[in-house]
Amino acid sequence: DAEVTRLLRRAAPIAAAGLLLHPPVVGMEGCLLATKDVRWLVRHYVVTGGIAVAATQLLLKVGALRSALSLDGIWLYLAAFQATRAISFVGRLVGVGKSPPKR
């Protein structure tokens, strides 16, 4: 229907940004796995996963934030999550705060 088409067209740029970040993030994740930087990756997953769960709970339970649960808001949430992962993975791969993984 026309309303669905309108909503999808409005969300498309944000959705594209989030989806375009996914392949490089997965590639960098693979590079970190190849360097056996598993301990850092696990810590990263725990921290970002915890933040994602907390943010989701805030959006669901705080009435003033509930309006962010639009189609645009959900795609923005994904894009922000992928951007956060990309920034931290780039930082780790170029050596910001990096110590060699313990084997």
> Three-state SS string across the chain, please?
CHHHHHHHHHHHHHHHHHHHHHHHHHHHHHHHHHCCCHHHHHHHHHHHHHHHHHHHHHHHHCHHHHHHCCHHHHHHHHHHHHHHHHHHHHHHHCCCCCCCCCC
pLDDT of residue 56: 87
Number of structural domains found in the chain: 1
**Is residue 101 included in any domain, yes or no?**
no
**Is residue 32 included in any domain, yes or no?**
yes
**Is residue 23 included in any domain, yes or no?**
yes
Average pLDDT over residues 22-43: 94
Domain with 76 in it: 2-93
**Is residue 68 included in any domain, yes or no?**
yes
pTM of the model: 0.79
Split at pLDDT 50, 70, 90, the class of 96 is low
**Is residue 98 included in any domain, yes or no?**
no
